Structure 1
Amino acid sequence: MPRLSRVQHEALGQLRHLASRSLLPEQLGTLLMEALRRAIPYDIQMLLGVDPASRLFNRLLTLDERDASVFLRWIEQIYLVKEPTWGTTFPGLMQAGLRVVVLHDRIETSLGLSPDFFHPLSAREFARCYHEIDSPAGGILRAFFAVDGCYIAALEMHRLESYPTFQPTDLAFMHLVAPLIGRALRSAFDRERANISLDLAGPEITGVLILSPTKKMLMATPAALTWMERLRVNERLKGTHLPTAVSTAVASLSSHTQEFLPHTVQVQTSTGLLRIEAAVASEDGALAVTLVPQHTHFELMVPATFPLSRAERQVCELLLRGHSNQQIAAVLVISEHTVESHCTHIYEKLGVHNRRELLGRFFQEVSLRGLGAPKIRER
C-alpha cells in the first residue's frame, strides 16, 4: 500500500463508508466524486457507466451541471472521433487492462503508459493533436473500474491550469481505490436492477433514428423519441441532445476506431435493458440508429455458482419469484420456521442481508454473463 497523506487517509475512509451504503448509481457517483476531490483536486470530472461487452459508455453517472456543455461537445465531437490515437482512447486503454493513467501533452510526462500507446504518432504529433482538441493544460486523469474482470464504469478528471499537474501520487491513490469504487458501483447497479420487475412490462416497440453525417436528427420514430427521453432522464441532463449511449454507438463508427469496436451498446433503463445499434445508412454518410428493448424473461433457475443445498435452492427460487415466507411454506409443505431458517442460511452463504440484495446478486450473476463481457487482464 502506498504511503498516504492525512487527506488521502480521510478520503479513503469516506470511500469505504460510501461503499457500505445502499445508494443508486447517480447518488453514489456524486458522493464518490466529492470524496475523491479531497484527495485528487480537479476542475472538471465526468463519471460514466461502461457497457462491459463493448467497453463503450452507456450512461452519464455524474457531472457538474456547469460542465454540461463541455461534456456534450466532448462526447459528440471528440470521443473516438478526434482523439489522437486508438491506444489512448477509453476503449483502447480498457482493452489493455489498465486501471488508471494520466495524459499530458508531452508523452514523457504522461503516467502509467508505455510509448507504444502513442503509436503511430511522434511526440510532436501527439502534442499537436492533444492541443487541437482543446485538452486541458494541467492534464487528464482517466480511471477504469472493473469487477470480476469486467469494466463497468470509467472516470475522467481535468486540471485546467498547467500547474499543478496530476502527479504520480495521484495515480497511486486512484490505483489503490479503483477496486473499492468498482465494487461500490456494481452494488449500486445491482440495486438499480433489483428495483426493476423481472417480468418487464415496458414498451416493446423498436425505435429508429436517422442522423445526418454531422449527427443532426433527420427522422425519428415516436418509439425512438420515447426511448431517448428515458435515457436523458436517467442522465439528468436538460435539452434535446443525443443521450450518451446513442452518441457512443454513433462514435464507434468513426473511421479511426471502427475496426476495433462493435457498434452496439447496451444500457439499463427504467423498464429494462435497451440495445442500441448504429450503422451507416447511405452512401452520403447518413447514420441509422435502432433502439431495441431487450425484454428478456429471465429463466429463474438458481445459478450453479450459488453454494446452496437442494432445499435452499428450492427456497431461493421461490424468493426470486417474489413469494412470501407463508407462500413458500405452503408450496414446499414445510413450516414457516423452516423457511426462515433456510432464508438465514441462504443470505449468509451469498453475503446478502435481505430479498432485495438477493435479487441484486441474482442479476449480478445472470445479467453480466448474458452480456458476454470480455474479461480483462490488468497490466
Structure 2
Amino acid sequence: MFSIDKIRADFPILNRKVHGKQLVYLDNGATSQTPQIVIDAIVDYYSNYNANIHRGVHTLSQEATDKYEEARIKIQKHFNAKKSYEIILTSGTTHSINIVASGFSALLNEGDEVIVSALEHHSNIVPWQMLCEKTGAVLRVIPMDEDGSLRMDIYHELLNGKTKLVFCNHVSNALGTINPIEEIIHAAHKFGAYVLIDGAQSCPHIKPDVQELDVDFYVASAHKMCGPTGVGMLYGKEELLKLLPPYQGGGEMIETVTFEQTTYAGLPHKFEAGTPNICGGIAFGVAIDYMNNIGFNAIAMQENELLAYATEELQKVDGLRIYGTSNKTSVISFNLEGIHPYDVGAILDKLGVAVRTGHHCAQPIMDYYKIPGTVRASFSFYNTKEEVDLLVAAVTKAQMMLS
C-alpha cells in the first residue's frame, strides 16, 4: 500500500530547512533525491569492499565485481533487455548518447539524413550536430506545436530512404510532454533507420520495455531515478553494439595489446574503458530495486494526482501561463506575465521552494515560445499536495513582490 509518510521518511534530505523554511523540493526533473537505502549502499561499498573490479583475484575485488555485475543484471531486467551485456554502464545519459554518436561517425556518409525532435535536451542535439559536421550528413528537425506536442504529420514526411538515424526523448525535460515513441520507432524502421530514445526524463515515471518497444538504443541516468550522480546506462541491441567501434581506448576494453595490434574485448567491456563508477553502478541497482518495490503504477498514480492538482491551483493565479499542455508527466513549466523566471525562482528559494529556472538545456523550445525561459516545477512520488499549496502561495507572493 502506498504510504506517503513512510516514503518521505526514506529521504533524509526532505527534513532539512532552507532559509529557515521547510524544504519543498520540486526540482526532480534535474535530479531526484536519494533514499537512505541507496545512501547506505554507498557507505557499505566504501566501508567494506572498496576495490577495483574485473582484474583482481583477491576477495574484495571479487566481491565488488559480483555486486557490480549483479547491478547490471538488475538494470537489464528492469528495462527487459534480452542480454545483460546489452547494458553498457556509463557516466549518464550524455555519455551514453555520445557513445552512439561517436560510433556512427564512422558509419554515415555525406548526404545521409539524421532526424531529431524540436523537444530535445541539448545533449540530444549537439552530439548529432557534431556527427553531421564530421560526416556531411544532414540534420532534419521534427517541429513542435503550440501545446508542446510534436508535429507527427511532418515527421512522417521527413522520413525517406536517406534517413539513417532518428533521435527523440521519451519525455521532454522542459515541458513534460510524453512523445509517441512507439509510432516514431515503428515508422523509422520501415525506412531501415535506427532509433535512439533519450529516457532520462521518462524513467523516473515510466518503466520502459526495450524489447516490446523494439528500440535500437535507449539511454538513462541513475540520478533521475533515486540513484547517485555520475552513472547511467546505454541499452543497445547486441548486433548494433557489435557494429559500433569503441568510444574510448584504454584498460578493460581490450582483449590483447601489442605494439603491432590491439584487439577489443567483447560486450559490454568494449565500451567501458577504464575504472568505472563502481559504487555508483552498485547504488544504481539498489535505486532500481527501491523504485520497483514501491511500484511504477503506484508512482504514476501519485504523480498524476499531483500534476492535476498543481495545474488546477496554478491556473488560478492571474497572469500565469503554463507551457506544454499535451499528454505529459509531472512537470509544469510556467511564467508570470511581465516577470523574468529567474526572479521568480530566486524568491521561491527564499521561501524554501526549490524549482528550476531558465531554458532547461532546451533553448529551441524557448525560442519557439519567444521567451527567455520558464519556471519549472517537477514533482516526484514523494511530493505532496501540501507542498503544492506551498508552491502556489510562494508564486503568489513572488508575483506581489515583483509586480
Task: Using structure 2 for the length normalisation, give the TM-score.
Answer: 0.25
Specify which structure has the bigger relative contact order, considering alpha-carbon pairs within 8 angstroms and separated by 6 or more residues. 2
